[in-house]
Structure 1
Amino acid sequence: MPETKIITDVNVHLAKNLKYARAQKGWSLDTCAKNTGVSKAMLGQIERGESSPTISKLWQIASGFQLPLSYFLTEQVLFDSISEAVVNKTDNPKSISIKTIFEFDAVIKMETFEITLNPHHEHMSEPHNKNVFEHIIVLQGEMAFYIDDHWKALKAGDSTKFSGNQIHGYRNLHKTPAIFHNIICYL
């Protein structure tokens, strides 16, 4: 079984990955801002390790670079590739945390996350790139997902799939965490 690594300094990790992605594209901060829709100031703060963006902002950045979300959530080859990482975006008890189960595979164009929604947390996501599909498998608890302007309830054992190229979200209105696998396909 591969070694699991907990990323303890998320800001430093994100800064390295964003700098590396920009260098690979040859983009200035201005070009990066135009392509991602994230302000130059925010991108600069991330690169200096002064700010940890929300998952929604990470999706915007990843989409702008045409990279999978896991690019920013796992160590890159440049830094000794690790097969698993846990990123908890906030110390707030009403948070979302993401564990990478399978990093993005360029051959099959998929990645898999285990997402924990703590009690009473809601997470909304902007549309992803065209031809991005999400599959949800609820492992524990109860949750709802937002798609087509409606919330749809799911409980442990339920599964669904949808196109991620529209506003969508997840929420847990219960007193216990909801845990689900999120399999993302980039066709």
Structure 2
Amino acid sequence: MPLDETSQQVANALRALRHQHNWSLDRASEATGVSKAMLGQIERGESSPTVATLWKIATGFGVSLSSLLEPKPEIPTTTQLRRVAKLRRNPGGDQMTVAPLLPFEPGLGFEIFELTIEPGDERHSEPHEAGVTEIVIVAKGKMEVLIDSEWQTLNEGDALRFAADKPHGYRNRGRKPAVFYDVIRYSR
């Protein structure tokens, strides 16, 4: 999806969530930690949020990240093939590339992303809802994941499962991009 289509999808999803919750921009700002002005700009399609901002919005509304990036998926009745090259995006012109490989489906309770973190990039994530678990699997390169105030080094092929309902982070101190898969399992 080109950036303008992604921005429009995020705008529509945010507007729909606010109306479903019957929240003002002020209330949405309190719940997400994103300023009222920024939320308004996102809803109007005037600003494309970064991955970090999208996570804050998703957490504040208690929804999956993929629900902001893509229309609600139909429950597949047949085999589903999704091509990662067509799914990669850089929301907000962010350095981190995100591809929603398998968007959240309530019956399954998880979503899977391919993420690429560039050399020198470091991301800190706010805690997700209680009970959320992440599984990180490094496909290419080397990266670190922050858990309980300690950076854990992951090499290509390594996997790590952790409770994502507390602060955590990701960084790449190498010279090449690190590509990893992130499985996010929701408790609800």
Bin for the TM-score computed over the shorter chain: 0.7 to 0.9
Q: Distance in 2 between matches of 1:71 and 1:24?
A: 14
Q: Which moved more, 1:126-135 or 1:16-25?
A: 16-25
Structure 2 equivalent of residue 41 of structure 1:
37
Change (3 A) 1:124 1:44: same
| Matched AA of 1:168 | H
Deviations 1:108-154 (A, max 9, x none): 21000000011221111111111110000110101111111111111
Q: Which has more strand, going by share of residues?
A: 1
Structure 2 equivalent of residue 62 of structure 1:
58
SS at match of 2:174: coil
Structure 1 equivalent of residue 69 of structure 2:
73
Q: Distance in 1 between matches of 2:104 and 2:72?
A: 11
Taking structure 2 as the reference length, what is the TM-score of the superposition?
A: 0.86
Measured after TM superposition, the shift of residue 30 of structure 1 is: 2.0
Contact 1:7 1:86 in 2 (8 A): no
Pair 1:8-2:3 in alignment = yes
Structure 2 equivalent of residue 89 of structure 1:
91
Count, aligned residues = 177
Taking structure 1 as the reference length, what is the TM-score of the superposition?
A: 0.87
Structure 2 equivalent of residue 160 of structure 1:
160
List 4+ stretches of structure 1 deviating above 4 A. none
Q: Distance in 1 between matches of 2:42 and 2:72?
A: 17
Deviations 1:40-84 (A, max 9, x none): 111101111121222222111111211111111223369xxxx67
Q: Distance in 1 between matches of 2:69 and 2:158?
A: 26
Measured after TM superposition, the shift of residue 25 of structure 1 is: 2.1
Contact 2:125 2:169 in 1 (8 A): yes
| Matched AA of 1:32 | A
Structure 1 equivalent of residue 122 of structure 2:
122
Structure 1 unpaired stretches of 5+: 1-5
Structure 2 unpaired stretches of 5+: 75-81
Measured after TM superposition, the shift of residue 91 of structure 1 is: 4.2
| Matched AA of 2:88 | V
Q: Distance in 1 between matches of 2:27 and 2:93?
A: 32
Contact 2:3 2:91 in 1 (8 A): no
Measured after TM superposition, the shift of residue 21 of structure 1 is: 1.5
| Matched AA of 1:63 | T
Measured after TM superposition, the shift of residue 33 of structure 1 is: 1.7
Contact 1:146 1:152 in 2 (8 A): yes
SS at match of 1:42: helix
